[in-house]
């Protein structure tokens, strides 16, 4: 017999090998019908999996994030099953659940999938779902697994990397068997509400020297209404594509003469400069010293930093005076030289040094994507030098800064703490433990919850990642705080302690936007190009009803706005007024001002705010105060 402890503390005995489904049925048949998976001693279990030991036990029902991941991963297997039936020679890479869906990488030989093929695959998937195929879990030895997948080079490679003693699990549904840790839904009847979204290329294990597979993306929900709502959101996201809006609003351009190197157009430069001014202002107010380091530095520096040996293939290299130089892919090594330019004392700390540094990285051409993935971008870096006992307080200050900035743009976020990798790391475990604990305490002292990512830290230190959620409910990785135990050692950085000894400083890497290019791309889609007044590249459009009668007053209003720091344009074209108003709205200009006889006579303006059809008339001086207050108070 085994003892099962329920969430309310109740303990019941069951036969050894009893499944979660059987336990659920012993409580309530209706409850069992609602269950998808169970949590046994903290581990997710398929409902049919036998329980052989005493355990804490929880049945998981309802549309939780955990269940959504299980559903999507199960649907990835459904996709693979359909593919195998339609293309018997198919071999498979990996098929995980991802944010809002799933994908599966596959090798179909000479067959290249099209959008029409996806329709055919969906039809097969639906018939498999309707068949309510039972999804069975089985434990096998490494030898057995190699025999099962002997005709699939990708699965074979994954299996061969596993320890000989490891128990391997496979899942089967119908005639298809897959290598997988699970868990999964009980049968395919749960997988009826899905949609395949697109197909793209993906190198096996992310290595451009390996085979390129085809990656099919999809999504799955528990009910049809949720699927429909999600597909509507996806359509809205397409409309917000920053590449399309960037072209329409003339913010930036891309050229075949420089793939991955964006050109900033006049409107885009206004937007970018406003964002930079905001960045400089908040950093100056928060005690940062600002520097600029060279864009190109010689090979010896990159050897010291380790980039030459570990990142060379992504660097642009040239020869100057018979010596090798590299354009910087990161600002950090230059920042180390800035630190070494002076002798530092503990009294200098915290020393906060910020830089908007233009960096270049050789990204694969197939990975380039508008402003999201480029080959040159401006990193908003900061390197903060502190003593060990200042870690917690300084992390708290950075979190406060991030919280303020993201709130300005209406971006919600959550934080993930990534800890020491199991194998590849530098430094002492005690130092890692202390650093991780300090990061956690800094968040806990502010009442901030976080997700723990065990073993996902960089080799040189633990980190905090800020995952932003935009207006379309998408997650973006932008802000990061990394504790570095590597570069201070490599560059022999020291400071003079209170006792007069030379001591290694603790160094924090810190990026708030991540990169200006990517962050602007995110903002374009977040706002759908309709930027708030303070950030908008084109703030106001003045439309005289009659150019002959109202132009003089229009110019006066423009000058008054200019004097107040507001950029206003006059549409003096010989077009109909309603056409001009519609075009101003299409160009997402925050305020459209219409000036006619009444406005001239009373020193007034009539405005329409973007996105509304209401017209408001008010005195010019009241309007000036309203909009200048709007700009002045944007961060409050």
Is the confidence at residue 423, as pLDDT, over 80?
Answer: no
* pLDDT score, position 591: 97
Q: Number of C-alpha atoms within 13 angstroms, CB side, residue 482? A: 23
Q: What is the pLDDT of residues 61-113, one digit of tens each?
A: 877 788 999 999 999 999 999 999 999 999 999 999 998 999 999 999 999 99
Mean pLDDT of 294-305: 93
> What sign does the dihedral 269-270-275-277 (CA atoms) show?
positive
> For residues 87-101, b (16+ Cβ closer than 10 Å) or e, as one string?
beebbbbbbebeebb
Is the confidence at residue 310, as pLDDT, over 90?
Answer: no
pLDDT confidence tier of residue 33, bands split at 50, 70 and 90: confident
Report helix, strand or coil for 87. Answer: coil
Is the confidence at residue 436, as pLDDT, over 90?
Answer: no
Which alpha helices (DSSP H) does 253-296 contain, by range? 266-285
Query: CATH assignment of 2-60?
Result: 3.10.20.30
Q: Residue 315 CA to chain centroid, in angstroms?
A: 24
Distance CA 385, CA 344 (A): 10
Strand 450-453 versus strand 463-469 pairing type: unpaired
CB count, 10 Å around CB of 428? 10
**Beta partners for residue 509, in sequence order:** 383, 482
Mean pLDDT of 441-455: 88
Is the preceding omega at residue 183 within 30 degrees of 0, hence cis?
Answer: yes
Q: What is the 3-state secondary structure (H, E, C) of 388-446?
A: HHHHHHHHHHHHHHHHHHHHHCCCEEEEEEECCCCCCCCCCHHHHHHHHHHHHHHHHCC
Distance CA 110, CA 101 (A): 27
Distance CA 332, CA 482 (A): 12
Q: What is the pLDDT of residues 583-624, one digit of tens each?
A: 999 999 999 999 999 999 999 999 999 988 899 999 999 999
Task: List the catalytic residues.
Answer: 332, 361, 379, 381, 383, 463, 509
**Beta partners for residue 511, in sequence order:** 381, 480
pLDDT confidence tier of residue 635, bands split at 50, 70 and 90: low
Write out the two tokens for 11. Answer: 């303990």
Q: Number of C-alpha atoms within 13 angstroms, CB side, residue 28? A: 6
Percent of the chain exceeding pLDDT 70 equals 99
Mean pLDDT of 15-19: 92
> For residues 128-143, b (16+ Cβ closer than 10 Å) or e, as one string?
bbeeebebebeebebe
Report helix, strand or coil for 318. Answer: strand
Residue 618: enclosing H or E segment and its boundaries?
A: strand 616-619
CB count, 10 Å around CB of 321? 6
Class of domain 252-293+328-527: alpha beta
Is the confidence at residue 414, as pLDDT, over 70?
Answer: yes
Write out the two tokens for 344. Answer: 């530092």
Q: Which residues contact 19 (CB under 8 A, 6 or more apart)?
A: 47, 48, 49, 50, 51
Is the confidence at residue 389, as pLDDT, over 90?
Answer: no
pTM equals 0.83
Distance CA 317, CA 93 (A): 35
Query: CATH assignment of 540-632?
Result: 3.40.50.800
The chain-wide mean pLDDT, for the chain, equals 92
Is the confidence at residue 298, as pLDDT, over 80?
Answer: yes
Range 65-239 has CATH code 3.40.50.800: no
Does this chain's domain 2-60 share its CATH topology with 65-239? no
Distance CA 115, CA 552 (A): 57
Q: Find the distance separating the first CA and the last CA of the chain, reported in whole Å.
A: 62
Domain range list for the chain? 2-60, 65-239, 252-293+328-527, 540-632
Report helix, strand or coil for 611. Answer: coil
């Amino acid at each position: 017999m085994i003892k099962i402890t329920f969430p309310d503390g109740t303990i019941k005995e069951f036969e050894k090998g009893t499944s979660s489904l059987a336990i659920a049925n012993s409580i309530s048949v209706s409850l069992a019908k609602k269950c998808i998976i169970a949590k046994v001693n903290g581990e997710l279990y398929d409902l049919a999996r036998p329980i052989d030991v005493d355990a804490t036990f929880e049945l998981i029902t309802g549309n939780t994030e955990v269940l959504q991941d299980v559903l999507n991963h199960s649907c990835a297997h459904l996709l693979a099953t359909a593919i195998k039936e339609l293309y018997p020679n198919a071999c498979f890479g990996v098929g995980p659940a991802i944010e809002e869906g799933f994908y599966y990488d596959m090798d179909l030989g000479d067959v290249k999938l099209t959008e029409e093929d996806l329709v055919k695959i969906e039809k097969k998937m639906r018939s498999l779902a309707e068949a309510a195929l039972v999804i069975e879990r089985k434990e096998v030895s490494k030898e057995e697994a190699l025999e099962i997948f002997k005709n699939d080079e990708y699965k074979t490679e994954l299996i061969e990397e596993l320890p000989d003693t490891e128990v391997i699990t496979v899942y089967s549904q119908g005639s298809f068997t897959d290598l997988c840790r699970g868990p999964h839904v009980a049968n395919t009847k749960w997988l009826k509400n899905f949609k395949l979204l697109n197909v793209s290329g993906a190198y096996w294990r992310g290595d451009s020297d390996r085979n390129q597979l085809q990656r099919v993306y999809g999504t799955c929900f528990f009910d049809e209404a949720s699927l429909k709502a999600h597909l509507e959101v996806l359509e809205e996201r397409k409309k917000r594509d920053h590449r399309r809006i960037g072209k329409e609003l003339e913010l930036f351009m891309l050229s075949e003469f420089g793939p991955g190197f964006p050109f900033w157009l006049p409107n885009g430069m206004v937007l970018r400069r406003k964002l930079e001014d905001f960045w400089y202002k908040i950093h100056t107010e928060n005690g940062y010293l600002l520097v600029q380091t060279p864009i190109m530095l010689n090979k010896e520096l990159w050897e010291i930093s380790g980039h030459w040996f570990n990142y060379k293939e992504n660097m642009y290299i040239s020869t100057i005076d018979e010596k090798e130089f590299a354009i910087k892919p990161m600002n950090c090594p230059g920042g180390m030289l800035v630190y070494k330019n002076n002798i530092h004392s503990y009294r200098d700390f915290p020393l906060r040094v910020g830089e908007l540094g233009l960096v270049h990285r050789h990204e694969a051409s197939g990975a380039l994507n508008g402003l999201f993935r480029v080959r040159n971008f401006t990193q908003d870096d900061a390197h903060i030098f502190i003593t060990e006992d200042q870690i917690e307080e300084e992390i708290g200050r950075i979190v406060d800064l991030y919280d303020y900035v993201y709130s300005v743009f209406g971006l919600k976020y959550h934080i993930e703490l990534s800890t020491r990798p199991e194998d590849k790391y530098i430094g002492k475990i005690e130092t890692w433990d202390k650093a991780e604990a300090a990061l956690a305490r800094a968040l806990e002292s502010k009442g901030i919850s976080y997700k723990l990512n065990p073993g996902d830290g960089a080799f040189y230190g633990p980190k905090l990642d800020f995952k932003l959620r935009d207006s379309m409910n998408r997650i973006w990785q932008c802000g990061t705080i990394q504790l570095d135990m590597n570069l201070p050692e490599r560059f022999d950085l020291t400071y003079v302690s209170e006792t007069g000894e030379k001591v290694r400083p603790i160094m924090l890497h810190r990026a708030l936007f991540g990169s200006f290019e990517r962050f602007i791309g995110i903002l374009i889609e977040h706002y759908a190009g309709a930027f708030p007044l303070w950030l908008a590249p084109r703030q106001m459009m003045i439309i005289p009803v009659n150019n002959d009668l109202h132009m003089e007053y229009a110019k006066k209003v423009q000058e008054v706005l200019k004097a107040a720091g507001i950029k206003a344009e006059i549409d003096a074209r010989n077009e109909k007024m309603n056409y001009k108003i519609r075009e101003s709205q299409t160009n997402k200009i925050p305020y459209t001002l219409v000036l006619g006889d009444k406005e001239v006579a009373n020193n007034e303006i009539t405005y329409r705010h973007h996105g509304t059809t209401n017209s408001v008339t008010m005195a010019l001086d009241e309007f000036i105060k309203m909009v200048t207050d709007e700009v002045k108070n944007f961060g409050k």
